[in-house]
Chain A
């Protein structure tokens, strides 16, 4: 469904993606992992068209995405930091994003689920970080798209919201959606992810299921298995 071919990106002298090749098939939950600064967010932003690669090609649904924008109608993205225009109210923001996409949305159900009803007429500038993240989650999941990209989705969510988030992710997966997640919380990965893509030095260092990774590193605990993976590289 998505194909990255020989992707290069550098910021100034810093090489972030160095000839990365990756293929992601349709359906399932893919966790993109890697140490800080390994290029996870850059990879995602290349796919979204926010970062323009120096070299390489990205194919989504059999079409190149570089310098295009229509394809974004078929993907949802949850950004890492939820910061919205402080003068708009929650409902205005939701309506605005709905207005921008020519697609039906099930926002009401999600607003109910995350208990945002009482916040709808509040200005976004007055909301707490966790509530903003809930709004962020609603904005992401209210559209029905083939691809869902989540950048640190658990940030600031309370336990109940977190449970709801996991349920939604599971539900979307059951509908045959492709979901990409970046996170540093391994228990979350262990719980939801089907496959792991491990980035190191701008290349794919490991791609496979969690079980394969555990077997390969001889470790039952995912956190340790990942640590092991990094350590082996250093040795």
Chain B
């Protein structure tokens, strides 16, 4: 598996898009820091971008890589390697190379800015951890879609729809349901609903760490009570881990019966 991972990783690291992605974060980091001059604000702006962009890029890279390397995967399948290892290797290769683009792209400007002397280092690290999680989650989800969809165009369509649903539509439905049901106590409901969407979960995790949860009103207080504690933090991290494990598990299940 490590061999496949290594080659997928090299292959991606040499593709132009990894650099475009890396440069994008690099420029973004520099611009935000040196125009804003306030690390806390920069972290919030970054959060808004990362929360939407990393899932999108992860989704697109995942489906693209799967369909692009289809014939090559067939060549690998004819080699004496377990098929699970081939796909796990590819999956990790994509996820790690995307995560590296994120970590280096944002890390370099922040280190140069003097992050280590600033108190924002914890918030910033949390941002990077959450961004990395989102990479792993959305590459896994998109690989699931690609594995289940023979047609490339359809696969792309479903993957983008999934992203759109989790990044935008889910929030819409969530908000509407809050308005419609506002006569009932909704704190538990919103807490649970947040868990079912990795993007929302990441957003709230960061917002609460940033100490601006006072803006969130009563529900905010409930959230704060839950996420603000170490226990809540642990649970949410656990849920993020589950969001990685479950799609990977389904991928392996699908592979047992898949024809190539």
Asked if A and B bind, the verdict is yes
In this complex, the member of A48, A49, A83, A99 whose beta carbon has the largest number of chain B beta carbons within 10 angstroms is A83
Query: Which B residues, 38 to 84, have Cβ-Cβ distances below 8 Å to chain A?
Result: 69-72, 74-83
A129 contacts chain B at the CB level, 8 A cutoff: no
B154 contacts chain A at the CB level, 8 A cutoff: no
A50-B260, A85-B11, A87-B15 in contact; A77/B80 too (CB < 8 A)? no
- Of the candidates A73, A79, A88, the one whose C-beta lies within 8 Å of that of B74 is A79
The distance in angstroms between the C-alpha atoms of A84 and B72, with both chains bound, is 5
B11 touches A88 (CB 8 A): yes
A50-B78, A79-B78, A85-B69 in contact; A45/B83 too (CB < 8 A)? no
- Name which residue of chain A comes closest to B4, CB basis: A100
Query: How many residues of chain B have a CB within 8 Å of chain A?
Result: 26
The distance in angstroms between the C-alpha atoms of A75 and B79, with both chains bound, is 8
The distance in angstroms between the C-alpha atoms of A85 and B74, with both chains bound, is 12
Query: Which A residues, 108 to 125, have Cβ-Cβ distances below 8 Å to chain B?
Result: none
A83 touches B72 (CB 8 A): yes
A207 contacts chain B at the CB level, 8 A cutoff: no
A-B contact count (CB 8 A): 69
Query: Is chain B's binding surface mostly helix, strand, loop or mixed?
Result: helix
The distance in angstroms between the C-alpha atoms of A103 and B173, with both chains bound, is 57
- Name which residue of chain B comes closest to A75, CB basis: B78
B14 contacts chain A at the CB level, 8 A cutoff: yes
A51-B260, A85-B72 in contact; A69/B78 too (CB < 8 A)? no
B259 contacts chain A at the CB level, 8 A cutoff: yes
B7 contacts chain A at the CB level, 8 A cutoff: yes
A72 touches B82 (CB 8 A): no
Chain A hits for B83, CB < 8 A: 49, 69
- Name which residue of chain B comes closest to A71, CB basis: B80
CB distance from A96 to the nearest CB of B (A): 5
Chain B hits for A101, CB < 8 A: 79-80
A69-B82, A79-B71, A85-B11 in contact; A49/B259 too (CB < 8 A)? no
A50 touches B79 (CB 8 A): no
A69-B82, A96-B7, A99-B3 in contact; A50/B75 too (CB < 8 A)? no
In the A-B complex, the 8 residue pairs with the closest CB atoms: A83-B71, A73-B80, A77-B78, A72-B80, A50-B260, A51-B259, A87-B14, A85-B11
Beyond the given pairs A87-B10, A87-B15, 5 more chain A to chain B contacts, judged by CB atoms under 8 angstroms and listed by A's residue number, are: A45-B260, A50-B260, A79-B78, A84-B72, A101-B80
19 A–B contacts, CB within 8 A, in A order? A49-B77, A50-B259, A51-B260, A52-B257, A69-B81, A69-B83, A71-B80, A72-B80, A77-B78, A79-B71, A83-B70, A84-B71, A85-B72, A87-B12, A87-B14, A87-B15, A88-B7, A88-B10, A100-B76
B residues contacting A by CB (< 8 A) are 3, 7, 10-12, 14-15, 69-72, 74-83, 256-260
